Amino acid sequence: MSSEFAVELRDVVKKFITPEGNELSAVDHVTMQIKNGEFFSMLGSSGCGKTTSLRMIAGFEWPTEGEVFIEGQPMGHIPPFQRKVNTVFQSYALFQHMTVAQNIGFGLEMEGVEKSEIKKRVGRALEMVQLTGMERRQPKQLSGGQQQRVAVARALVKTPSVLLLDEPLGALDLKLRKEMQLELKALQQQLGITFIYVTHDQEEALTMSDRIAVMSKGKVQQLATPVEIYERPTNKFVADFIGESNFLEGVIKEISKDEATVYVPVLNAELKGMPMSPDFVNGEEVAVSMRPEKIRIVEREADGDTLFKAKVLNSVYIGSDTHVYVDMQGARLKVMEQNRISRLDPSSFYSKEQMITLLFMPENTLILKKG
């Protein structure tokens, strides 16, 4: 391998002309370095540029500006069939007029591999995706999950250096999705191939990925490990998009090293010892972000320091958790509490208008730029 990166996007821009004749930057100056053997996800809602980025790596689209590198080689206008990457399509794109074995063998046949060798490798690929014995079936005779596996086998049989997956589990039901997530992850670890995975499902990205690029409006919002993305989002978009967040307005009152004291008007209190990145200044207006599951409901008196009074607006039982919506002097927050104890008595749940006390741990909150 001539590069430590399997794939690199250097300042890539992709512009499209919309039917109305406007110019649209689907991908807007994106730079990403994807390491060899990494499970890398591009996560974002539709139109964020994740699929376009993937298609530029595959060679179905060419960048308007910038360059895509695969194993250190600039790709320029090299067509898809000359790139060492293979794609698993969202729709699977199986050839309905061919058997499973012919589908999987297609890529090898194009390479001019000998028939007996094709047969052997197709057999191995089927074994890998646990479809042994399905060689002679037609794709339409298979279930969605099985078709998905055929699509993966068809791409992997070519032993690409990078496998591109475009929302491959989108058409499957939830249970099968979760199974396939773990299976794909296991397959990736077993093969050691770089996977680049496009999804709009954050849980999927968090479950499978080594690193995630959260994308929005054609830009990378944050590129980090799942834990960092969730626990240390670098902006309000990521904090809101990944998981859920409550945002309170605040003003920085005091900075000491990497901690800050923030005055939060709705609480009429100063929150002390909040972790902070170095690019904030004293007096700056900021957003204070708190994850619903990190706010605790306690049976203590409010002290205006870390304990605050709140009024229950609504309480929703969803099985594993209870979601409690509260009002704190006009600010609406969502609090999640795990149902650790089995109980049926409805009076033990929170009722409307009930006053409760919330515990804010400074280390569980984040200071983010206001924008």
Partner 1 sequence: MLKRLRESKSMQGTFLALPTTLWMFVLLIIPLILTLIVSFGKRSPDGNVIYTFSFDNYARLIGISHTCADGSATCFDPLYINILWRSLTLAFNTTVVVILMAYPLSYFIARAKPAQRNIYLFMVLIPLWTNFVIRVYAWMMLLRKEGAINIIIGWVASLLHLPFTPLEMLYTPGAVLVGMVYEFLPFMILPIYTSLEKIDGSLYEAAADLGANAVRTFLRVTLPLSMPGVVAGTILVFVPVMGTFVVSDLLGGKQVILVGNLIQRQFLDARDPAFGSAASLILMVMTLIVTYFYTRKFGFGEEIVAA
Rank residues 98 and 307 by Cβ distance to partner 1 and give the closer one.
Answer: 98
Per-residue buried b or exposed e for 113-125, using 16+ beta carbons within 10 Å of the residue's own CB: beeeebeebbeeb
Rank residues 60 and 62 by Cβ distance to partner 1 and give the closer one.
Answer: 60
| 208, 181 Cβ separation under 8 angstroms | yes
Q: How far is the CB of 67 from partner 1 (least distance, A)?
A: 20
- Check binding of 58 to partner 1 (CB under 8 A): yes
Q: How far is the CB of 290 from partner 1 (least distance, A)?
A: 43
| 86, 166 Cβ separation under 8 angstroms | no
* Residue 54 CA, distance from chain mean position: 14
Scan residues 157-176 and list those touching partner 1 (CB under 8 A).
158
Q: How far is the CB of 166 from partner 1 (least distance, A)?
A: 9
Interface residue with partner 1 among 97, 257, 300, 343 (CB under 8 A) is 97
- Give the DSSP H or E segment for 312: strand 307-317
| 88, 156 Cβ separation under 8 angstroms | no
Q: Could you give the CA distance from residue 150 to residue 162 in angstroms, rounded to a whole number? A: 18
- Check binding of 96 to partner 1 (CB under 8 A): yes
- Check binding of 347 to partner 1 (CB under 8 A): no
Interface residue with partner 1 among 110, 182, 186, 316 (CB under 8 A) is 110
Say how many C-beta atoms besides its own lie within 10 A of residue 97's C-beta.
9
Rank residues 154 and 211 by Cβ distance to partner 1 and give the closer one.
Answer: 154
Q: Please, which residues have CB within 8 angstroms of residue 159's CB and are 6 or more apart in sequence? A: none
Say how many C-beta atoms besides its own lie within 10 A of residue 27's C-beta.
29
Interface residue with partner 1 among 24, 31, 93, 298 (CB under 8 A) is 93
Say how many C-beta atoms besides its own lie within 10 A of residue 166's C-beta.
21
- Count the site residues for partner 1 by CB under 8 A: 24
Give the max Cα distance, the chain: 78
Rank residues 106 and 280 by Cβ distance to partner 1 and give the closer one.
Answer: 106
Q: How far is the CB of 185 from partner 1 (least distance, A)?
A: 22
- Check binding of 111 to partner 1 (CB under 8 A): yes
Rank residues 95 and 317 by Cβ distance to partner 1 and give the closer one.
Answer: 95
Rank residues 52 and 87 by Cβ distance to partner 1 and give the closer one.
Answer: 87
- Check binding of 87 to partner 1 (CB under 8 A): yes
| 358, 326 Cβ separation under 8 angstroms | yes
Residue type, 371: G
Return the residue matching tokens 């790139």.
83
Rank residues 57 and 367 by Cβ distance to partner 1 and give the closer one.
Answer: 57
- Check binding of 154 to partner 1 (CB under 8 A): yes
Strands 162-166 and 85-88: parallel
Q: What is the CA radius of gyration of the chain?
A: 25
Rank residues 105 and 250 by Cβ distance to partner 1 and give the closer one.
Answer: 105
- Check binding of 106 to partner 1 (CB under 8 A): yes
The contact set with partner 1 (CB under 8 A) reads 58-60, 79-81, 85-87, 89-91, 93-97, 106-107, 110-111, 154-155, 158
